[in-house]
Amino acid sequence: MLQAAAARCRGRASDPVYREPVMTWIGAALPVVATMLVVFVPGTALAAALKVRGATALALAGPLGFGTIGVAGVASAALHVRFGWWSVAVTAAVAGLVLLGARLLASRSGAPLQGWDSWRPSAVLPVVLGVGIASVAIGSIAFAAVPSPDRVSQTYDAVFHLNAVQSIVQSGDASSLHLYRLTHPTQTTAFYPAVFHSIAAIAAETTGVPVPVAVNAAWIGTAGPVFAFACAFAARVLFGATALRRGEAATAVQPVLVASAGAVLASAFVAFPYLLLDFGTLYPNGLAYTTLPVGLGLVAALTRWPEHSPWRPEAPGPRWRTVLLLIGWLGAAGFTHPRSVVAIAVLVAPLLVAWFAARMRALALRSPQGARRARLIVVVVVAAVVLVAAGALLFVLHYYDVGHRPISDHLNGGPAKAREGFGTAVLQGLLATSLVSPSQSPLPPAVLLAVVALAGLVALALRPGLRWAAVTYLVIVLLYAAAAGSDSDLAKLATGLWDKDKFRILAMLPTIAVPVVAWIVAAGGAELVAVLRRRTHRRQDPRDRTVVAAVAVATLLVAAVSWFGPALTGVGTAIGTVFSLPDSDKQQRLLDADEVLLLQHVGHFVPAGQVIADDPWNGTALAWALGGRQTLFPHLGGYWGTERKLVAQHLDSAPRDPAVCKAVRDLDLHWLLVDPQRLWNNTAEAKAFFGIDRAATGSGVQLVASSGSTRLYRITACWG
């Protein structure tokens, strides 16, 4: 129970403030809708400007919408205009006019733009239905053990992300060029991708929900529909016209079937989107990964395979439109999280190698001159690849300062530490399961899903032209195994671009695994129905509706067994642990219910605009996100500058040290929040803030309010 203790506050807050009723998940529906609207409306409009239609337009709407939001944030800050949904609308309108101009120029040059996909109900509705099923499943599984949408992820990274959202809500500055100033306050330009925080801020502002609710709603509104549409797109582009057996033609309904199956099965893998909500919590990284299947599909669509290749992706022309869409995807990657560019490089590398080999083989077979030209091109390209690989290696060595500290001294922290054997980790990856945070314990596999995925790998390996997809799958598995099962220098170098984080690596797997499983279910189901039909009905081909019904049943069976199986149930339980809120004993978490009560009501005592001194390791940094009052240290780590460091280490000396008082006045510090319990019981990193903790026992503060072990003080020293 919150108790007011300051005489100045007794007139308005002397009565106990009881805990407010717990918000239900129904209350999160409106901000989820707001999230989807701010992403899909501008994104679909931009896709339509390039004559992209149907489910393809809805798949591209995710990254195009993210890119629009990112540009709107930077532009609004540059123009000194407050960021909001109107900024996104104006940016989308301007971008749409530019794309319409490009389309007009193309048609005047004698090459009118052809449509990509269709809005026919038979082509769109099955995919939309699949996305709806997947979105409900993803949201339900992820938050099954979280009792309320206002719960906070009790993780290191969540402190920064929630406070970043509150910063955008209060300041109106959503520029990715400014967001990192939260932890680098002395810098004028400090880049950090701000799209996730911008989406959550819009959801909070337009619906009036608290920041934690808006953050959870933003995750649900993107991790479900954006990722499911993206998987549908990748499945169709990669395998929509590919029969199970070489030499056979795919059925007329297979493109829609593969896309619909891909949408539903986007919810079936532990690796994504669930793991990055369980670990971290890595909101921007997770948002960026929702677009990886679109990036893979666009790169595939951009390649042109030789005429008689055993496999060719769906590649509607013209190529300039695909290039523009890929540029838009890259822009979205930069504004959501640049690490997704590294991820897409790994995902497309086997595809590009296979395409290059097929092109060079076809060129060499044309003539002796073609053979010589092919050899020259191969030598040049291999040399370029070697140089790029060497550059990447040098970057990793420089990034980790290997010249002063050997690589063995790096990447030894909890997330990077190997927890099992390399072989065990390989088996986990092949079975599409994983370790799970925070216990770092292994999850059992979803057996049916794993069997279908392994069958897909075998089918890919047996099909010329499709082996690149099996290689992609295996490369990700091996990278995961290197991170999860080895602490060798080689493993650290191979996974250093992901900070040797097994969860970030394995989260890439569904980008290729979902389309592969969707292909096996759709094409394999069609093949099985055809075989059975021919045996019992005088070799008649099955009707489309029979194939559709069979594939729909198979898809839902594979997905449902995963939804209710031990793997996804286990990750849901783990997420519930991450979001759990103890009553009064933190149990090495950031917050307990008593502290949350005080942080939520801190605005009853602290006037708007005044700053609170805090030790971020004890959860008080979240007074900004939960109570709307800015804290001096909004994250657990940062580069704070001289005055903030002085306050952190010596605030208790304020009554007798003029230098500390000068810093207090310069920073407009009037309040102090303390709590004796810290995240992970950490004392090493938290030692930098011990001056703030000691100040609570000194003579320069006055107790104002308390809840459990959390105390709010007014700083009386320095203010006279």
Mean pLDDT (the chain, rounded):
91
Q: What is the pLDDT of residues 470-489, one digit of tens each?
A: 999 999 999 999 999 999 98
Q: What is the pLDDT of residue 296?
A: 97
CB 453 within 8 A of CB 513: yes
Q: What is the pLDDT of residue 9?
A: 38
Percent of the chain at pLDDT exceeding 70: 95
Cα-based torsion angle of the residue sequence 622, 624, 630, 633 in order, rounded to the nearest 10 degrees: 20
* CB-based contacts of 586-592 (< 8 A; 24+ apart in sequence): 586/619, 586/677, 588/679, 588/680, 588/681, 589/154, 589/619, 589/679, 590/152, 590/154, 590/155, 590/159, 590/618, 590/619, 590/622, 590/679, 591/152, 591/154, 591/619, 591/622, 592/677, 592/708
- Return the higher-pLDDT residue of 380 and 395: 380
Say if residue 39's pLDDT is above 90.
yes
14 band by pLDDT with thresholds 50, 70 and 90? very low
Say if residue 6's pLDDT is above 70.
no
Task: Sketch the domain layout of the chain as residue ranges.
Answer: 23-152+221-366+415-578, 583-715
- Return the higher-pLDDT residue of 434 and 1: 434
Say if residue 354's pLDDT is above 60.
yes
Sign for the CA dihedral angle at 547, 552, 553, 559 comes to positive
Q: Can you tell me the mean pLDDT for 384-412?
A: 83
Q: What is the pLDDT of residues 152-189, one digit of tens each?
A: 999 999 999 999 999 999 999 999 999 999 999 999 99
Least confident segment among 557-566, 610-619, 676-685 = 676-685
1 band by pLDDT with thresholds 50, 70 and 90? low
438 preceded by a cis bond (ω within 30 of 0)? yes
Is the pTM of the predicted complex or chain greater than 0.85? yes
Q: Can you tell me the mean pLDDT for 40-66?
A: 96
455 band by pLDDT with thresholds 50, 70 and 90? very high
- Return the higher-pLDDT residue of 547 and 513: 513
The b/e string for 494-517 (b: 16+ C-beta within 10 A; e otherwise) is bbbbbbbbbbbbbbbbbbbbbbbb
Q: Can you tell me the mean pLDDT for 423-432?
A: 93
Percent of the chain at pLDDT exceeding 90: 73
Q: What is the pLDDT of residue 405?
A: 82
Q: What is the pLDDT of residue 411?
A: 84
407 band by pLDDT with thresholds 50, 70 and 90? confident
- Return the higher-pLDDT residue of 619 and 527: 619
DSSP 338-354: THHHHHHHHHHHHHHHH
Q: What is the pLDDT of residue 21?
A: 58
Least confident segment among 223-232, 303-312, 551-560, 615-624 = 303-312
Q: What is the pLDDT of residue 19?
A: 54
Say if residue 635's pLDDT is above 70.
yes
**Domain 583-715, second-level architecture:** 3-Layer(aba) Sandwich (3.40)
Say if residue 520's pLDDT is above 90.
yes
Least confident segment among 224-238, 282-296, 301-315, 633-647 = 301-315
Question: Which candidate, 670, 676, 672, 715, places its Cα nearest to that of 594?
Answer: 676
Q: Can you tell me the mean pLDDT for 122-142?
A: 96
2 band by pLDDT with thresholds 50, 70 and 90? low
Q: What is the pLDDT of residue 220?
A: 97
